[in-house]
Amino acid sequence: MSRRRPVAPRTARRTAVLLAAAALGLAACTAGSGTSAEAPVTLTTTVAPTADPTTSAAATTTSEAPSTSTSTSTTTETSAAPSTASASASATSEAEATSTVAAPVATEVWPDNSMVPHIFFHSLVVDPERAFNDAESGPGYLDYMATQSEFAKILDQLYAKGYVLVSPHQLATVETDGRVTPKPLALPVGKKPLVISIDDVSYYEYMDGDGFATDLFVAEDGRVRNNYTDARGVTTQGSYDVMPMVDDFVRAHPDFSHEGARGVIALTGYNGVLGYRSSPSEYAGKNPDLDADIVTAKGVADALKAEGWEFASHSWGHINFTDSSLGGIQADTAKWKADVEPIVGPTDLLIYPFGADISGVPGYRGEKFDYLKSQGYSFFFNVDGSVPAWGQWGDAYLREARINIDGISMKAAVEGRQVLGEFFDVTSVLDPQRPASIAGS
């Protein structure tokens, strides 16, 4: 994993986080997540420490949980998301008998689409015994991963709290001239929008045998499932990671998804995607099944998109956009577009590895942004685990912060940080197979 070794970061704390991750060969999307709630993370650690805190949008939102009821909200009557026709409805008229009909649902427009909570995960630990006790990677898994059992409980609690999955593309429109404008988001009264994303869904080589699923595939029924090999070497097919678990949950609770939204899958390219060693730049001449794997991976991506999932670039090489030169970003972007885009299609979503943004709180300007915009990116996501939501509208972009859900953030919650309590009760979620230390660092 030496190719992903990050450039020396700017603060001692962040140095420790990144070096630990690099030493473990882990995809540390959560750099900075261990800080206290009074110190917004991404926006102060990824830039020179000259940002005036009084201009910090994050700081102004520290204690402001999103509210579904404001004076600017409008309440309207609309049809709910498509559902199976009810017998009573279909009997009322011929028109209704041939279409799906749902009872009207009172909705209200979310007041500010830049203030939509966004939580993210990595691939789930299926076997905590193997993952957490792995001599090389165990501490990193404790830091950066949640377990299958934790995620199942989190889903239940998110739903019980009234969250509903939305897509970034339901928050803003990218106009033909490149401008990004708010899009009205009407949710059932009492529901709260939530974006989820999953980083590094490659089932990296270093994870092999450590108690994770090994890939995603399209099952005979058309649904996307995981292959998982247990400690005895027995492989089973089922829902062993975020994507199929969310799909199962939405089937049981259709109102957990707003108009079909699922989540955003953030992909690198250096180990291929979705469990397939599918990147020609890395595996040509090394993977004898390269061509077939590309075809298979594209089938999985197509099935995920049909279900409502979306894909983001997470850079090809898990690079640090703060520290990388423009030339480095250009070279990496070209590799992503060569290796990954043919499989998942073009995307306007960019999820920064390490949460390392190209700019601090001041709005985007300059050559890095101009280049990324020219490559089609209009939605940008960093990491800030200190506030329930943070966002910024630019003329040509929407930038939002994401909250890491992992051992680091759950440990911080147990020690008193308030943010995760907006979404679930950490104590009741924690996997009993986690050690008392919760995290690994």
Q: Which of 29, 31, 142, 356 binds Zn ion (CB under 5 A)?
A: 29
Quick one: which segment of 105-113, 196-204, 281-289, 429-437 binds Zn ion (CB under 5 A)? 196-204
Which tokens hold the place of 134?
């792995």
Residue found under tokens 């020690």? 415
The residue among 199 and 215 lying less far from Zn ion, judged by its C-beta, is 199
Size of the site for Zn ion (CB under 5 A): 5
The residue among 256 and 379 lying less far from Zn ion, judged by its C-beta, is 379
Residue found under tokens 């026709």? 85
Q: Does 383 bind Zn ion (CB under 5 A)?
A: no
Quick one: which segment of 21-29, 144-152, 249-257, 337-345 binds Zn ion (CB under 5 A)? 21-29
Which tokens hold the place of 129?
């015994």
Q: Does 199 bind Zn ion (CB under 5 A)?
A: yes
The residue among 256 and 354 lying less far from Zn ion, judged by its C-beta, is 354
Helical packing angle, 367-374 and 326-339, nearest 10°: 20
Q: Does 200 bind Zn ion (CB under 5 A)?
A: yes
- The nearest distance, CB 312 to Zn ion, in angstroms, is 11
The residue among 140 and 244 lying less far from Zn ion, judged by its C-beta, is 140
Q: Does 265 bind Zn ion (CB under 5 A)?
A: no
Taking Cα atoms as reference points, which of 250, 132, 150, 133 lies closest to residue 194?
A: 250
Please give the Cα distance from 155 to 318 (Å, whole number).
28
Q: Does 438 bind Zn ion (CB under 5 A)?
A: no
Taking Cα atoms as reference points, which of 297, 259, 254 lies closest to residue 278?
A: 297
Q: Does 17 bind Zn ion (CB under 5 A)?
A: no
Please give the Cα distance from 332 to 272 (Å, whole number).
14
Q: Does 406 bind Zn ion (CB under 5 A)?
A: no
- Maximum distance among all Cα pairs of the chain, rounded to whole angstroms: 69
User: 3-state SS string over 253-298?
Assistant: CHHHECCCCCCEEEECCECEECCECCCHHHHCCCCCCHHHHHHHHH
The residue among 30 and 61 lying less far from Zn ion, judged by its C-beta, is 30
- The nearest distance, CB 236 to Zn ion, in angstroms, is 27
The residue among 313 and 392 lying less far from Zn ion, judged by its C-beta, is 313
What is the β-pairing status of strands 192-199 and 163-165?
parallel
Task: Kindly list the residues in this chain that would bind Zn ion in the complex (CB under 5 A).
Answer: 27, 29, 199-200, 353
